[in-house]
Amino acid sequence: MLLLLLGIIFLHLAALVLLFVSTIVSVWTTGESTTSDLWINCTTSGCIPASTGEWIQSVQAVMILSIIFSCLSLFLFFCQLFTLQKGGRFFLTGTFQILASLFVMSGAIIYTVMSPEWVPEGNSFGYSYILAWVAFPLALISGLIYVILRKRE
């Protein structure tokens, strides 16, 4: 049981780190002389704030919500680990983690659909964008494991 708990915690922390990195690092799209992310667009001549369009603000919001819900889920897991009765399930923890995965998926989908209007020709998606897509299944799997998991002594 201890190995299972350590594996679940590791999976959750891996998803959380990926969420932090994908939200903070400035490489959602990259080109020969430019990089851009949710917050700032950089070229060789300097950096400017990201556009103020509603779609980029919604991506920013759902990525931040995914981090908040994933952190709350980890906190709730540790609280429930010590307070939940034997045989109880981690429904609340799993729900928060599944919501975090849905938020990151929503943000990545919105960015995928709307970025051709904003990103210059010749640029491609960067590693932060890919990390966001990798964080989605990790968070979803850990959330489903939390829902299925029962507490044992």
> CATH fold of 1-151, please?
Butyryl-CoA Dehydrogenase, subunit A; domain 3 (1.20.140)
**Pair 31, 42: CB distance under 8 Å:** no
Which pLDDT score is estimated for 153? 62
Which pLDDT score is estimated for 31? 84
Which pLDDT score is estimated for 149? 84
Task: List, for residues 28-56, the tens digit of each pLDDT value.
Answer: 888 888 888 888 877 788 877 877 678 88
Domain-by-domain residue ranges, the chain?
1-151
pLDDT at 94 over 70: yes
**Pair 76, 96: CB distance under 8 Å:** yes
Which pLDDT score is estimated for 52? 67
